[in-house]
Amino acid sequence: MPTSPSRLRGLVVGAVATAVAGSLAAAPAVAAPAAPQEAQASTLAAEADGVVRAAATNDAVVQSWYTDFLGRTDPAADPGRQFWVGQLDGGAPRADVLRSITESREYAELTVGALYALLLGRGLDPGAEYWVSGVDERGMAVEWVSQNIFASDEFFRTQARSDDYALVRIWYAALTGRTPTDGEVAYWVDRVQRFGRFRALREFWYAPESVATRVVVNYALLLERPPSQGELGYWAPLEVRSDREVAVLIASTPEYESLIGTR
């Protein structure tokens, strides 16, 4: 069986964010980047070490996407990838092709399955089909699935031991990668007790720190570096709308291509 998508694993656990968030304060402020452009079939310079590498083939790009977004351990063994390679060879924009890959049933099953395993400690049950088909067929955002699980009775009972204070600390660890202060915990416990877990969780999810953490995780897992302050500012508004779209666009850039074969 393929492994869970590595990008999702980092997002849920928040461990990558913890490792790289400290470098953000020292990151130089830069102008917000222009909208990501498609990688050109030309020689690219890898910014990290200055070594000039040949541009990755379209086949290599698709294999890298299979690993990062579908959790494939041996993407070269799947002849079905040639469909997507053919799309790229025919001039289809990379972001469009990757977006289609993440709209597949396979992506939905793996993503929802990873959420169940990571957050609930169990596999999918028949009721999970609601979420899988929602992501696959009805345009349901993965964030909606995550939020419902984080705020669910099962998560509260099994992971937080039915304790509001423990629940809030778990939210901080998973969604910001840090330990909260007592005052922060008290604030969010009050929100939970006044408005319910789901509303409080959504407020927490879309708080600037949580949004920035998801951008940081995408950069760490796809580009292996922290974003600059300018890049954070550029991606944050889109991250509020769709984490998957942020990941798709980052993984369609020349910088991502330049790292293929080195990660």
**24-45 pLDDT per residue, tens:** 333 444 344 444 544 332 323 3
Residue 181 lies in a domain: yes
Helices and strands in the chain, H and E counts: 16, 2
- Amino acid sitting at position 256: Y
- pLDDT classification of 5: cutoffs 50, 70, 90: low
Tell me: pLDDT of 9 over 70.
no
Phi (first) and psi of residue 116, to 5 degrees: -60, -45
CB contact at 8 A, 243 and 237: no
**What's the whole-number mean pLDDT along residues 190-219?**
97
Residue 129 lies in a domain: no
Would you state the pLDDT for residue 16?
38
CB contact at 8 A, 172 and 178: yes
- Which of 13-27, 94-108, 210-224 shows the lowest mean pLDDT across its residues? 13-27
Between residues 143 and 9, which one has the greater pLDDT?
143
Residue 73 lies in a domain: yes
CA dist 32 and 41 (Å) reads 25
Q: What percent of the chain lies above the pLDDT cut of 70?
A: 79
Residue 155 lies in a domain: no
Would you state the pLDDT for residue 40?
34
Mention every residue, 6+ apart, whose C-beta is less than 8 A from residue 244. Answer: 102, 141, 142
Phi (first) and psi of residue 44, to 5 degrees: -115, 145
CB contact at 8 A, 8 and 226: no
Number of compact structural domains in the chain: 1
Residue 109 lies in a domain: no
Would you state the pLDDT for residue 34?
45
Between residues 91 and 38, which one has the greater pLDDT?
91
Residue-wise pLDDT tens digits, 161-200: 999 999 999 999 999 999 999 999 999 999 999 999 999 9
CB contact at 8 A, 253 and 64: no
Q: Is 97 exposed, middle or buried (0-12, 13-18, 19+ CB in 10 A)?
A: buried
Residue 132 lies in a domain: no
Over the chain, what is the mean pLDDT? 85
Q: At what angle do helices 208-222 and 6-13 cross, to 10 degrees?
A: 150
Tell me: pLDDT of 232 over 70.
yes
Name the residue range of residue 86's domain: 6-23+40-103+161-259
- pLDDT classification of 54: cutoffs 50, 70, 90: low
The two tokens of residue 69 are 């977004």
- Contacts of range 175-179, beta carbons closer than 8 Å, 24 or more positions apart: 175/14, 175/204, 175/205, 175/210, 175/213, 176/14, 176/17, 176/209, 176/210, 176/213, 177/14, 177/15, 177/16, 177/17, 177/18, 177/21, 177/213, 178/18, 178/21
Would you state the pLDDT for residue 2?
43
